[in-house]
Amino acid sequence: MKLCRLIVLSVMMFLFGLTAPAYAKITVTVAHTHVETHPQHKAFLVFKNYIENEIGDRYEIQIYPNGLSGSNEQVFSLVKLNSIQFMAISASLLENASKQYSIFSVPYLFRSEESYEKFISDPEVLEELRVQEKKKNFRPLSAFTAGTRNFYACYPIRSVDDLKDRNFRVQLGRNTGLMMEAFGANDYVMSFKDVYQALKRGVVDGAENNELALVDQKHGEFCKYYTYDRHQMIPDMLVGSEEFLSHLSPEDYEVFKAAAMEAQRVEIREWKSRVQKAIKQAEEMGVSFIKVDVEPFRKKVLPLHDSLLNDNPAIRKLYVMTLKYQ
Ligand code: GCU
């Protein structure tokens, strides 16, 4: 019977010129919130090319930049459902899902960006961050730098007292809330994509982020003063859907992992020159960059370290690991 069907099918294919269908490629969607000149976009292009060079007969990577797929919070929900396979998301937004990520919002954790970059490139750090993810439907594959977070506002901040009673947009997270309290400032938690409107409408006096936010997100239209107080260094994690990653063959998984590491190297390498360009562009927008003595800012929040470590034992191991890079 089976043989009969096969013969009929072969005859039909011969008569009607039918050919066996080629297997469709799997479309892998990557979404991020940044503009196309941002180092993260370049890194995702590297990610795409790496995978397509190795196993492009089976996978096609589509990248959606500029927050086209929604806010970071919305995209993260879609990654967990495997509707989107990869994204870059601030470690702050992962704090609720997994307590280890709070390590990065501990203020003044690193002495320099170089130490921080070495820390986030350490495979053991990534392993430690991965501990609980299987249950959480996402998995980090590498970490992108997002530089140093500094305050910027519609008025100049020249000392830590200038933060007092002022309103700033901050990222979600308990450590950040406590840091703002120690600075004497009011924290307004909101999504990255809503900050422009909040600054425009004067809901907040300022925000805190790296220099790129001034130009890429146009925050420099309203905030003409950027102060180098250097309070936090929080990476954006390249995370994948657990559902997607756990169904890959071990060989394909290795390709995705290697692509993520290559993307990280490129992102970190590109970062400094993009920051230099952003500073120039921001100056053309009328933004002044203020150098301050960081010590008084540090002193205000340093006593928090002990209580943050006591309240969240999940970050203790990572905290000790940072010492290797100081
Ligand atoms: C950084 C980071 C973003 C993040 C943002 C924020 O710029 O790259 O991914 O969302 O900070 O403050 O929300």
Task: State the pLDDT at residue 136.
Answer: 81
Report the Cα–Cα distance between both ends of the chain, in Å, rounded: 74
Helices 174-183 and 304-311 cross at an angle (nearest 10°) of: 160
CATH of domain 149-233+278-325: 3.40.190.170
Question: For 289-302, what is each residue's pLDDT tens digit?
Answer: 999 999 999 999 99
| pLDDT more than 90, % of the chain | 90
**Binding site membership of 152 for ligand 1 (Cβ less than 6 Å):** no
Q: How far is the CA of 188 from the centre of ligand 1 (A)?
A: 15
Substitution candidate for ligand 1 out of 32, 35, 90, 152 with most atoms within 8 A of CB: 90
Phi and psi for 290 in degrees, rounded to 5? -110, 125
Contact 208, 152 (CB under 8 A): yes
Task: State the pLDDT at residue 134.
Answer: 60
> Could you identify the atom of ligand 1 that is nearest to the CA of residue 40?
8
Residue nearest to atom 5 of ligand 1 (CA): 192
Task: State the pLDDT at residue 257.
Answer: 97
**Binding site membership of 171 for ligand 1 (Cβ less than 6 Å):** yes
Q: Say whether pLDDT at 44 is over 50.
A: yes
The helix/strand/coil state of 205 is coil
pLDDT averaged over the chain? 93
What are the structural domain ranges in the chain?
2-145+235-276, 149-233+278-325
Question: For 227-271, what is each residue's pLDDT tens digit?
Answer: 999 999 999 999 999 999 999 999 999 999 999 999 999 999 999
Question: For 58-114, what is each residue's pLDDT tens digit?
Answer: 999 999 999 999 999 999 999 999 999 999 999 999 999 999 999 999 999 999 999
Contact 237, 94 (CB under 8 A): yes
**Residues 29, 68: Cα–Cα separation, whole Å:** 12
Residue nearest to atom 13 of ligand 1 (CA): 192
Q: How far is the CA of 239 from the centre of ligand 1 (A)?
A: 15
Q: How far is the CA of 319 from the centre of ligand 1 (A)?
A: 22
Find all residues with CB under 8 Å of 95, minimum gap 6, and list them: 101, 102, 105, 172, 173, 174, 175
The side-by-side arrangement of strands in the sheet containing 138-144 is: 59-64, 26-31, 86-90, 236-241, 138-144
> Could you identify the atom of ligand 1 that is nearest to the CA of residue 72?
10
Substitution candidate for ligand 1 out of 38, 191, 195, 236 with most atoms within 8 A of CB: 236
**Residues 291, 308: Cα–Cα separation, whole Å:** 28
Exposed, middle or buried: residue 221 (CB in 10 Å: 0-12, 13-18, 19+)? middle
Task: State the pLDDT at residue 132.
Answer: 63
Looking at domain 2-145+235-276, does it have CATH number 3.40.50.2300? no
